[in-house]
Structure 1
Amino acid sequence: MKLSNMNSNRRDFLKKASLLSGVAVSLPALHQDAFGASASFNMSGYAAPKIDKVKVAVIGLGMRGPGAVDRLSYIEGAEIVALCDKHADRVAKAQKLLTSKGLKEAKSYSGEDGWQQMLKETELDLVYICTPWPYHAPMSIAAMKAGAHAACEVPIGLTVKECWDVVKTSEETKKHCMMLENCCYDFFEMLTLNMVRQGLFGELIHAEGAYIHDLLELNFNKNGYDNMWRLRENIKMNGNLYPTHGLGPIAQCMNINRGDRMTHLVAMQSNDFMMAEKARELATSDSFFQEFVGKKYRGNMDTTLIKTEKGKTMMLQHDVTSPRPYSRLHALSGTKAFAQKYPEERIAFGHSFVKDEELKGLYDKYTPQLISYIGEQAKQVGGHGGMDFMMDWRLIDCLRNGLPLDQDVYDGASWSVIVPLSCESVARNSKTVAIPDFTKGAWKTNQPHDLTLNGGGNTGIRPKVTKSQENQLNVK
């Protein structure tokens, strides 16, 4: 072979090798081209037409649904008109919850396809979804196509394609699709978000979030998740299966999708040291658990590192099986200040944390309007200390007043897509994986959501707790 041909072949080989080396890292970007056609409409900052009375359907009345029914029953201008669950007895219990409060019964739907029948037969403004994870994207998409806004428990999708499909449907229908990330409405998270907006942290450099929660006993409880669905997900997927509780609040602080975006991640995961052993232990005395013996379970601890377009970093952790105290971390590190929520709420403007009295002063000065307005009632209604009720109240508030939602479909998709992408990185020995830009470039001009209640001057009508509920809350 001539030298010139050898050099030419070598150049061709190196060129192809270079291209191939980037294929794995770019796979999600290819997903973006395949599923994320150019946006027909930008849902960031979108204000849908006002709805005087929001007709709500709740799907999924197992773990989370009954609490949602209870909370929504307190909010003026929200009417629960339909209830749906695979199991008819759960629907009956939710109906009793309504009638015991002096509210009229909603339409009842049950069975595997009950939710589809409900969407065909019932005129709805909002579908509130509390079902197992695999149903989230299909139900959200169907609700929007049926003409309703969708509010869905976390995560909003389990695959890259599902996340793109949810985004595309929201843009095409101009219907909101809000992922119900309640941790964005917790008191310390909202305090630090407002402090970041007011410049007290300077420029954020790094943030940390987590979902560290010992659910080992609950995941193996036959009376817990229906058909052991959550345990099954811990067999099917090996990555960060629940990133949004930690990610949502810090993503808002870092203006993700509104001035910055997440570009790529790396995930590393420990082996499983708990679940397989738990299955073997239980199976020795209960044959029911033989099905779960010999399975390969996801590891105890997943640590995912994320970098943003502006060069900032984020760390997420997920561990639901180790015996350790609950934590979502919520740590923010800026050029002027630092904050962390666990094991106790602390803020520092230098090398030392502020004293309790100074922290109280920060709460007094920087607590957002939402908490000042409804926070005390939220604590009385409950739902993880009140953050669930504030989330529901604010959702109804925005729909009734024609305000943009605090969390849009791009937030739901980009926070949820960490699930499949972390699984991909773990499977590829912690290789870097690109994160799709669900805004398709709009993050450069999208504005951070308004922390005031009025949304830039729209005074509107603030929902109160319903009169039928005032006595229960001792509201003056």
Structure 2
Amino acid sequence: MSEFDRRKFLKTAAVTAAAGVVAGCATSNRGSTTSILQPQGASVMGLVVPKMDKVRIGFIGVGVRGGDYHVRNFAKMEGVEVKAICDTDQESLDSAVNYLVQQGFTAPTKYTGSDYIYRDMLARQDIDVVIISTPWKWHVPMAVDTMESGKHALVEVPAATTLEECWQLVNTAERTQKNCMMLENVNYGRDELMSLNMVRQGLFGDLLHGEAAYIHELRWQMKEIDRKTGSWRTYRHTMHNGNLYPTHGLGPIAQYMNINRGDRLDYITSMSSPALGRAAYAKREFPAGHDRNSLKYIAGDMNTSIIKTVKGRSIMVQHDTTTPRPYSRHNLIQGTNGVFAGFPNRIALENVPDKIKAIYDKEYQTAMTAWQAAGKKGDKPSHTNYHGWDTDMEKWYAAYDHPLWTRFGETAKNAGHGGMDFIMTHRIISCLRNGEPLDQDVYDAAAWSAVFPQSMASVADRSNSKDIPDFTRGAWQTGTPLGIVG
């Protein structure tokens, strides 16, 4: 790219990023930001881009998430070339580059030195896809600049933190016809993909309700002062009161329910508990005069939100990174024939598939024989039914494990977050190399991320409901549900 073209791109990116907020949204009478009637480009629902023999990648942000996970996983994929890496932290940048060189890759070009040096990387012509793993405030500016430069944007969660930012992503993707995928790795977890497989095969009947969460005690991140996630995320608890991190639990439930592909999120009601835990932790763990003790933490320790879909289904979404309790994403999906729930995994069905019923019958007969041999002492065995949870998941894995896990499970399980990172990365590269739509699109990124600002709006308005915009502009009614791929 010539110096003239490079300057033109940088100027255009800055102008369009600013204009996107104004041109892309207006405020409705229910406190929601909705799109203008006329889109700025064609829909990207089911977007297919030309096949890529080689997927040439640039990274922006290679700290804990970008370096320890994304760089290492993408480098394992056939057909990937890492062309450039950008990070303002020299230690993280050098670590990522050194890792690639040790793996036999040509050293990618380094970009560092200022907050906007990533734009110099975007001006290159030999990059197809950019992986963005930076603090939240940079997600939208970097993703917009990436698409404006003619590249596909893969951005970490949440993709956006305001409705205006959500619309910026949608409008830019439609105008540029570039992918903007939020890297929601939990959608590729073994249990989540098995649940999706069971939903698609109708095991739960007609879907009614889902429960999602991010319950993960992270107070220890407050001790990350100058570097790493806690150095910036801690301050988010002083800025917002709502669900600060909705997509890990919500993403899989949205895919079970075909959100944006036959149904969509309609409105949300949200409430927060008192914000007590972080101030107490700071008082206990830091000196009295420390900055962590001078902050005013306003994010309720537990936020609970209820979302209603256009088809009338309900979804509970919770957020708690403060209280001392075991990790959970809930991952509950309820239908007219039964329910699956995670943490721990358990299932209860009214009408059980024949291949599982045969196992239940055998277990019942074995228990009856033992009971009779013992002189009918103790409780008489009962046949498994929906009044009790089945917690033995091995037979369910054998019958309904997702094909991607059947194929890659052993390879994936040591590649980050129990294997979900590897499966996600494989799917992205496979889709790009084979000319297939990505599993998640910009409308998913916007709708799932919109829970962040709209939960805050509801909490601030005495839990009155707030609309979640139709980012698809009606295309959800004809969108194709995510299929089961091998």
* 8 A Cα contact 2:215 2:318, kept in partner: yes
Aligned pairs, number: 422
* 8 A Cα contact 1:302 1:319, kept in partner: yes
Q: Which ranges of 4 or more aligned residues in structure 1 deviate by more than 6 Å?
A: none
* 8 A Cα contact 2:246 2:318, kept in partner: yes
| Structure-2 change in CA distance of 1:227 and 1:219 (3 Å) | closer
Please, which of 175, 181, 185 is the counterpart of residue 184 of structure 2?
Answer: 181
| Counterpart position of 2:91 | 89
Measure how far apart 1:294 and its partner are: 4.6
Please, which of 445, 448, 454 is the counterpart of residue 481 of structure 2?
Answer: 448
AA partner of residue 119 (structure 2): Q
| Structure-2 change in CA distance of 1:306 and 1:227 (3 Å) | closer
SS at match of 1:241: coil
| Structure-2 change in CA distance of 1:90 and 1:332 (3 Å) | same
Say yes or no: does 1:252 pair with 2:288. no
* 8 A Cα contact 2:221 2:230, kept in partner: no
TM-superposition CA deviations, 1:130-172 (whole Å, max 9, x none): 1000111111111111111111110111110100110111111
For the residues of structure 1 that align with 2:104 and 2:41, how far apart are their CA atoms? 44
1:10-21 counterparts in 2 under 5 A?
Answer: none
Say yes or no: does 1:353 pair with 2:389. yes
AA partner of residue 406 (structure 2): S
| Counterpart position of 2:443 | 410
Please, which of 123, 131, 136 is the counterpart of residue 133 of structure 1?
Answer: 136
Say yes or no: does 1:367 pair with 2:401. yes
AA partner of residue 235 (structure 1): T
For the residues of structure 1 that align with 2:461 and 2:345, how far apart are their CA atoms? 37
Measure how far apart 1:33 and its partner are: 3.4
TM-superposition CA deviations, 1:361-400 (whole Å, max 9, x none): 32222222222222221113x1101101110111011000
| Counterpart position of 1:284 | 287
SS at match of 1:193: helix
Measure how far apart 1:100 and its partner are: 1.2
For the residues of structure 1 that align with 2:142 and 2:166, how far apart are their CA atoms? 13
TM-superposition CA deviations, 1:41-80 (whole Å, max 9, x none): 2222221110110001111111201121111111001111
For the residues of structure 1 that align with 2:223 and 2:335, how far apart are their CA atoms? 41
* 8 A Cα contact 2:35 2:469, kept in partner: no
Measure how far apart 1:92 and its partner are: 0.9
TM-superposition CA deviations, 1:278-329 (whole Å, max 9, x none): 33344426x4x33651514311000000001111100000000000000000
AA partner of residue 76 (structure 2): Y
For the residues of structure 1 that align with 2:139 and 2:38, how far apart are their CA atoms? 22
Instruction: Give the TM-score normalised by the residue count of structure 2.
Output: 0.84
| Counterpart position of 1:107 | 109
Measure how far apart 1:98 and its partner are: 0.5
AA partner of residue 134 (structure 2): T
| Structure-2 change in CA distance of 1:306 and 1:149 (3 Å) | same
AA partner of residue 390 (structure 2): V
1:11-410 counterparts in 2 under 5 A?
Answer: 26-28=30-32, 31-34=33-36, 37-38=38-39, 40-66=41-67, 67-111=69-113, 112-222=115-225, 225=228, 228-284=231-287, 287=289, 289-290=290-291, 292-342=293-343, 344-349=344-349, 350-354=386-390, 356=392, 359-380=393-414, 382-410=415-443
TM-superposition CA deviations, 1:237-276 (whole Å, max 9, x none): 1110000001000000011111111110100001111112
* 8 A Cα contact 1:45 1:449, kept in partner: no
Segments of 5+ residues of structure 2 without an aligned counterpart are 1-26, 350-385
For the residues of structure 1 that align with 2:159 and 2:283, how far apart are their CA atoms? 33
For the residues of structure 2 that align with 1:240 and 1:443, how far apart are their CA atoms? 25
For the residues of structure 1 that align with 2:61 and 2:271, how far apart are their CA atoms? 33
| Counterpart position of 1:461 | none
For the residues of structure 1 that align with 2:28 and 2:152, how far apart are their CA atoms? 36
Instruction: Give the TM-score normalised by the residue count of structure 1.
Output: 0.85
For the residues of structure 2 that align with 1:321 and 1:438, how far apart are their CA atoms? 32
| Structure-2 change in CA distance of 1:220 and 1:365 (3 Å) | same
SS at match of 1:95: helix
SS at match of 2:325: coil
1:417-456 counterparts in 2 under 5 A?
Answer: 417-453=450-486
SS at match of 1:200: coil
SS at match of 2:455: helix
